[in-house]
Amino acid sequence: MASVTLKKKYRCSKSLQQFYSGGPFVVSSDGSFIACACGESIKIVDSSNASTKSTLEADSGTITALALSPDDKLLFSAGRSRQIKVWELETLKCLRSWKGHDDSVMGMACHGSGGLLATSGADRKVLVWDVDGGFCTHYFKGHKGVVTSIMFHPDVNKNLLFSGSDDATVRIWDLTKECVKKCVATLEKHFSAVSSMAISEDGWTLLTAGRDKVVILWDLHDYRCKSTVPIYEVLEAVCIIPSGSHFALSLGVFSQQTRKRKSGSTGIYFITAGERGTIRIWNSEGAVCLYEQKSSDVSASSDVGEGSTRGFTSAVMLPLDQGLLCVTADQQFLFYSPEENLEEKWNLKLTKRLVGFNDEIVDMKFLDEEEQYLAVATNLEQVRVYDLSSMSCSYSLAGHTDTILCLDTTVSSDGRRLIVTGSKDHNVRLWDSERRCCVGLGIGHRGAVGAVAFSKKRRDFFVSGSSDHTIRVWSLDGLSDDIEQPIKLKFKTGVATHDKDINCVAIAPNDSLVCSGSQDRTACVRRLPDLVDVVIFKGHKRGIWSVEFSPVDQCVITASGDKTVKIWAIADGSCLRTFEGHTSSVLRVSFLTRGTQFVSCGADGLVKLWTIKTNECIATYDQHEDKIWALAVGKKTEILATGGSDAIINLWYDSTAAEKEEAFRKEEEGVLRGQELENAVLDAEYTKAIQLALELRWPHKLFELFSALCRKREVGDQIDKALHALNKEELQLLFGYVRDWNSRTKLCHVAQFLLFRAFNILPPTEIIKIKGIEELLDGLIPYSQRHFSRIDRHIRNTFLLDYTLIGMSVFEPVTGVDSKTRFLLHSEKYMEGAPLTDDAEEDQKQVPGGLKEKASAKTDDADEDQKQVPGGPKEKASAKKRKSGKSRDSSRSHKKVKGDAQSNPEAISLQA
């Protein structure tokens, strides 16, 4: 058998996260992104693949209103805390915030000029704000209910503001200075809350939709009711179809073909969406319904009680003729566009589905070997199938009446892609993914079905395990392509195998054995198809959550709530290996690399990659915030998909070969760049050498370059030239290295010199633009203060040394006699007229003023003393005589010096 290359690294390349929790949302002017309310935060989501581009932490309670400026640069938000905030999307910073309402803000709209912001609230007020100044420009009051919707006239030259309320009225306000606080008109034809408003392209017709199941058209010339269109459903949204759009053109062609449109008709096309979950298109001329969806794309939920919101909650026409966007009550974004084929009948097609909230991920499997689609079971009654290329939900399969707990997928012998699901409703269902319908129903379990598994070889049966402690074998016989209703599946056999709930089942690669794991801490292997006992694995201290057969060996791997993974021998039921490393229950485990490795995930939110031969965990990944319930492994490339309680789906790709190749490429490139750096140093091209050292991330070589520059004469010019050539990223890296050098005494001199040159040539406006400069300066300042304090101490010590040397008059040391004694002796000789030696002359030159000045100064001092002593020279002489009385110690020291002088001829000559 060929050698197996072990996997060493996985990389999380894609992730599907929660981005919408219901409530307000707003689409950008080009349709490239959607700003969605997600709890107390705002998610900026890419509309093409549902990836979260950025997150704004509003910190103002649940978000209740959102609006975008016309140029998409500013985002306005408001929450339960009544705080209105202005965000700059480029920097993701809050520019300003204020409070103006007495209750929650329920609606928000930005003027076409971008200078005004209108807000409506539960306090029945409508306020208009100056965006730049943040002050209130208009204060409107008059509604008797919560003002839920608000809208500026799309024509910026018409200063009109429209507000709809729960009091079933629409009020029109004039924003001109002459009409401040004036309500131009009150429209009172509705009998229930007004939920949506729209204005025609010519700007003179207002459409209002309400929960009274009608759409009313108003003439804005005289504010009268033009017509009323009964819709017969509670409406949440009304949208005008632009005349030049693909929608309008295709509708016009279809209307002419079916002769539903009268010649010369000037009606308005508009769309309605509401509680039914279907889209209808109307022509205002004659209140004709041109199109209605036959079936709803909204998944019905069994737990929707009476009075709860169902169907669509909002709808908006996308800009740049990109189609229609509808939002459902279960947080899904549905994108529609007209079908191209108009020969048979005009129809809308669902082009994309983005799921804003998945709830808890329970189980998932790849749909086929191409690994393009992923079937996901969430805490709902339907299965969602995701297209991994766009991370959008392609379709959903609904039919269960309670939460789906498990699923498995296979490709049948005739090429059909099948999905089997088990639910809390005690049933199993078989689905055809291509036809997107249920083809089989299995009834027989008396408890929730918590585990299902398809056969691996023949693919003509599957096994289910339930909380009724039994496993059942179901046959796929009787399936055909022409069946319209799901057939009743037949089970071949069933048996009670455990004392508690069955959590997992697995079938051997040759379809000869089935293994089940239970909460009774055991795993049982039985022979198919008669389910005869083979062996029971005992040894776990908690319930078993996952089992799987090895693809090459006669063994089974199990994952348990006791934080361990065990491998068991089928022959005798002995435990071959035990793997410990998780800090909580291990919930899923699966073999990799032909059974030589396996991957596990658990309640600690960790994904671990193990090598069986060495019992070693070679990689641990922490990308989840909660329990990981689901693990799927692709058959072709062994791609991993993980999902859990955090409602996040992560896709992991094997990056072992890619990272090895990348490391080899970087090493090769490093060698070439290193040689280029050495050549630059030899050619004295220090600027180029410094840039190469920064690019290669070689701090030691960089320090050597700057040290060499500091030893040159024109060091300032060279360093200034090198610093000028660096960009902001390179300067950030250099400042990081300087911070590290500055923390070491041996390297701080170069660091301080670089800082001196950098702060001299770089303006402060450029320095503050360097990313992370605040943190870098915080690390530089304390050590710089220590260095300057140490230099100050050295300078003070030099002053003390200068003072000491001057006081000692040390010039040149002489052997046997110190300099001071020698100087005094020569001074006495000079006073007596004796000739000076060469050394004495040299001393005389070094003494300021010479010996004569010093002798004269001494004579003057003697005269001064004589004047100051009372009684004249005689009294002074007697006083001197008294003072010259010597103690015994001084006489002894004198005798000792005299004795030493007798033994030393030089001393005798000096005394003479």
Q: Lowest mean pLDDT: which of 242-246, 311-315, 533-537?
A: 242-246
DSSP 371: -
Cα–Cα distance measured from residue 348 to residue 340, given in angstroms and rounded to the nearest whole number: 9
pLDDT band at 836 (very low <50, low <70, confident <90, very high): very low
User: Which amino acid is residue 611, in one-letter code?
Assistant: T
Domains, the chain, ranges and CATH? 361-478+486-653 (2.130.10.10), 659-790 (1.25.40)
pLDDT band at 301 (very low <50, low <70, confident <90, very high): low
Angle in degrees, 0-180, between the axes of helices 773-808 and 728-742, rounded to the nearest 10: 40
pLDDT of residue 451: 96
pLDDT of residue 134: 85
User: What's the mean pLDDT in 868-890?
Assistant: 41
Q: How far is CA 412 from CA 383, 385, 391, 456, 649, in A?
A: 19, 18, 26, 10, 27
The residue that leads in pLDDT, 885 or 99, is 99
Spatial CB neighbours of 110, under 8 Å, sequence gap ≥ 6: 67, 68, 69, 70, 74, 76, 116, 117, 118, 131, 152
Cα–Cα distance measured from residue 44 to residue 75, given in angstroms and rounded to the nearest whole number: 10
SS (H, E, C) 762-829: CCHHHHCCCCCHHHHHHHHHHHHHHHHHHHHHHHHHHHHHHHHHHHHCCCCCCCCCCHHHHHHHHHHH
pLDDT of residue 865: 44
pLDDT single digits (tens) 536-585: 999 999 999 999 999 999 999 999 999 999 999 999 999 999 999 999 99
pLDDT single digits (tens) 233-242: 999 999 999 9
The residue that leads in pLDDT, 368 or 448, is 448
Mean residue pLDDT across the chain? 83
Handedness of CA 493, 494, 497, 503 (dihedral sign): positive
Query: Residue 882: enclosing H or E segment and its boundaries?
Result: helix 872-883
pLDDT band at 840 (very low <50, low <70, confident <90, very high): very low
Cα–Cα distance measured from residue 37 to residue 63, given in angstroms and rounded to the nearest whole number: 6
pLDDT single digits (tens) 736-757: 888 888 888 888 888 888 888 8
Q: Lowest mean pLDDT: which of 99-113, 133-147, 299-313, 526-540?
A: 299-313
pLDDT single digits (tens) 384-398: 999 988 888 888 898
Percent of the chain at pLDDT exceeding 70: 84
For residue 65, give the 3-state DSSP assignment.
strand
pLDDT single digits (tens) 601-617: 999 999 999 999 999 99
pLDDT of residue 385: 93
Length of the chain: 912
- Provide the whole-model pTM: 0.73
Spatial CB neighbours of 908, under 8 Å, sequence gap ≥ 6: 901, 902
| pLDDT higher than threshold 90 for residue 794 | no
Q: Find, among 812, 866, 864, the residue nearest to 840 by Cα.
A: 812
pLDDT band at 799 (very low <50, low <70, confident <90, very high): confident
pLDDT single digits (tens) 19-69: 998 899 999 999 999 999 998 899 999 998 888 899 998 776 789 999 999
